[in-house]
Amino acid sequence: MSWPTVIYNEEVMREGFGIEDVDIPLSAKIDLLHALSETGLKRITVGAFVSPRFVPQMACFEEMLQKFHPKQGVTYLPYIHNQKARKLAEQYSPPLTVEEDVFTLFIDICDIHQRRNVNRSIEQMMQSWPEAVHDAKERGIREARIGIGSAWGSNFMGKFSQADRFFFLEGQIELLNAAGITPIEIGLHDSQSWCLPHEMEADLLEIKRRWPEVKQFHFHMHNARGMALASIYAALRTMDEHDTAIIEGTLGGIGGGQYGGNGRACGMVATEDLVHMLEGMGIATGVDLDKLIECVWLLERIIGRPAFGCVAKAGPRPADPSAFYDPNMPAVESLEAAKHFKWGPQAYEKEGYSPWKNPISGPYFQAPHEAEPA
């Protein structure tokens, strides 16, 4: 099967720490950022220029930009939500990279979440669009991204239909086309964790049928109900080698929105789980999974609790014989003992028990395809 090009944005520094304890030391955040920079991740969103009155966790963002040491080859991105944020980002470039000024239209299709999140209704947002589009055209911008949040449903309003989604996508595209601005990217954001894989597949198929010229898709998938990774897989299956998937997630799967009702439980797709899946599918990421797992463990020490991802707990699939588990290891029960995939026998030496009397051996000790015929 031909897969799309995958561009991954690591969001733990913004999306993750944006909802964690405000008292996490800046030095700890910088340590994690430095460690992430050594994993092979190419794009890291490091924070946002937002009022500390609304997001006090970002109050130290500018100080962090002055103190951390950027690694060559890594793109450090700010979250840019308006022109004021863009101008501030330009003052810190480098180390920040301010990417091409492509016009963006975005709307949260849950009016309640829209109001709770940015204190503006859907109607108010849409009424501001014509002026914003005109301004973009005057600045010579000829390409745009569009997107919808809470795309599949709302904790406050219930499930949204495909017709609901396409009503807002069509409105954005019609407005841009009328202004002579070409939509080049469509974003689907599961702000409140309502997506299911079959809905993702059906929506992308219909998007590609209606707007075959669009080849770039942006996925920001929260994971309160465990469907983020499965939905991303469904999206990748629906795309081909001519497409590009921009995927955002967080180390350990932490994060979430303050205004959707699930708080930290909302989470996101876990970076380490996604990298593990992509590599297993034959989509090269260039990321050192072993170093990434070390970053998860550092993150867990910083936040003082286990993160949500799986691969940092159970380890990746042992693909090489040198990594296969010892068939005579004792019983493993705890999360700490499960870390033997990295720490070796010392991980379980104090808690394991062995109920069998003799070592495990025999003609079927090998994998089935390697076993000698009887």
pLDDT in tens, 68-124: 999 999 999 988 777 777 888 888 889 888 887 788 999 999 999 999 988 899 999
d(CA 154, CA 261): 10
User: Which residues of the chain carry a pLDDT beneath 70?
Assistant: 362-374
pLDDT of 97: 87
Residues of the chain with CATH 3.20.20.70: 5-314
> Two tokens at 2?
């031909």
**What is the rounded distance in angstroms from the CA atom of residue 227 to the CA atom of residue 357?**
43
| pLDDT for the residue numbered 156 | 94
Coil, helix or strand at residue 336: coil
Continuous segment of H or E residues that includes residue 37? helix 26-37
For tokens 């301010």, what's the residue? 98
Nearest-angstrom CA–CA distance, 170 and 147: 11
Q: Can you give the pLDDT at residue 52?
A: 79
pTM here is 0.92
Q: What is the pLDDT of residue 223?
A: 97
Domain 5-314 sits in CATH 3.20.20.100? no
Tell me what pLDDT residue 361 has. Answer: 77
